[in-house]
Amino acid sequence: NYECEKLLGTGSYGSVVMAIQKSTGKKVAIKRMENIFDDEIDCKRILREVTLLRKLKHPFVVELIEILEPNNPSNFETLYVVMEYAESDLKKVLKSSIHLGLLHIQTIMYNILCAIKYLHESNVIHRDIKPANILVNEDCTVKLCDFGLARSVTGVESASVIFSKK
């Protein structure tokens, strides 16, 4: 269903490519995570990220489109997660020669704060907000990504008091 176009980056859990969804022609990002059962902590982080992304729906949080079914569901080591595509991330933008005007900076910051506010209202703490985990499009819209370290505080009395609505 997808045609890979180019490698976007690699990280501790695998790699991300930009692909075209053949049925729609839409650009997507496919995150390939290998050896997902080798380390119990990593496995839990992957599960947590996928579980949270399935539930979170906000314009400034990256959208999980689908998880590709493994060829052999009873014995697999690699997981492919298809997500919304963004043109760059804030780390790359800040390192580039692109000049951001005051309005661009204000728009990006406002969008980031809206995403964080949504997460906190949803009782989720991201715990890894950094420029590389903030995807940015040319129109200054952002997509908060990488929820591997995120935690849901629902049911945790000490933490839920902090985020309870007044």
Compute the average pLDDT of residues 55-60: 96
**Tens digit of pLDDT for each residue in 72-126?**
988 999 999 999 999 999 999 999 999 999 999 999 999 999 999 999 999 999 9
State the pTM of this model.
0.86
Compute the average pLDDT of residues 123-131: 96
Token pair, residue 36, equals 């997902």
Active site residues: 128
Asked whether residue 47 carries a pLDDT value surpassing 80, the answer given is yes
How many angstroms separate the CA atoms of 101 and 12, rounded?
Answer: 33
Q: What value does the CA radius of gyration of the chain take, rounded to a whole number of Å?
A: 17
Q: Across the chain, what does the average pLDDT equal?
A: 90
pLDDT band, very low/low/confident/very high, at 165 (cuts 50, 70, 90): very low
Q: How many CB atoms lie within 10 A of CB 48?
A: 16
* CA distance between the termini of the chain: 46
Token pair, residue 147, equals 């929820």
Compute the average pLDDT of residues 122-143: 96
